[in-house]
Amino acid sequence: MIKKIFSYFYPIRLKLLESAINGPIEINLVDGRKTLDTKSSNYSYGSLQLILHHGLEKIGLSNQTHKILLLGLGGGSVIQTIREDFKCHAYIEAVEIDPVIIEMAVHDFEINRFENLKIIQADAYEHLINSRDLFDLIIVDLFIIDTIPTIFTTPTYLDSLKKHLNPKGKIIYNTMKRTMTSTKLDQIKDTFEAGNTGMVKILKNVEGTNHVIVFENS
């Protein structure tokens, strides 16, 4: 109780684990709630949760969405948002390469309390390329610390995202503006627009830190 009170004045570290992929990963108590953080960015339950909530609100997430692919699990805060804020009970397939992140999501944030959820430890590039499944919504939240690996910005990968959508399916692609150039952002937008297969818009300066690309399949 005392820690919770003090967390409104300064962050309190609860746990620190070392990841071979993401480096030091911390669980902190901030404003009375646990967050998952790297040395320079929030991974879950902080500003990131608000950013993806904004994206989900913009696409009008509802129970008409039946199948969701989440690329990049973090602590699973977006799953909590989908279930509790939007009351959406869609099947969620969450892909995460880092076993340390998965351990924290399961044991420290109890993400398995939500039903109709499958967590897969895999590389998000290989998983998508090899999958034949179609989804109503794909959420791309793929960062190593604060940077999206280049492979996830290539036309091959972006085209594959579109190919895994059902008709009228949507993509929410999260980016961090301080680590992604405007040129690269425009290239991603142009790739989504190529072929006139859907509509693209960029939600700029979400929470003052991120640009979120939204694609809707035709």
pLDDT tens figures, 168-185: 999 999 999 999 999 999
Q: Which residues contact 153 (CB under 8 A, 6 or more apart)?
A: 184, 187, 188
Sorted by where each begins, the domain ranges of the chain are 43-217
pLDDT in tens, 100-125: 999 999 999 999 999 999 999 999 99
Q: Is 202 left (phi over 0), alpha (psi -120 to 50) or beta?
A: beta
Give the per-residue pLDDT at 42.
77
Q: Tell me the three state secondary structure of residue 21.
A: coil
Two tokens, residue 68: 């969701």
Residue 126 token pair:
């290989």
Q: Which residues of the chain have pLDDT under 50?
A: none
What pLDDT is recorded for position 8? 66
CATH of 43-217, one of 3.60.10.10, 3.40.50.300, 3.30.365.10, 3.40.50.150: 3.40.50.150
Show the tokens assigned to 210: 């991120």
- Model's pTM, two decimal places? 0.93
Q: What does the alpha-carbon distance between residue 76 and residue 70 come to, in Å, rounded to a whole number?
A: 10
Q: Tell me if 61 sits within 8 A of 137, measured CB to CB.
A: yes
Quickly count: other Cβ atoms within 10 Å of residue 95's Cβ: 22
- pLDDT (0 to 100) of residue 44: 74
Q: Which residues of 36-46 are buried (b: 16+ CB within 10 A; e: fewer)?
A: bbbeebbbbbb
* Nearest one of 174, 178, 182, 181 to 203, comparing CA atoms: 174
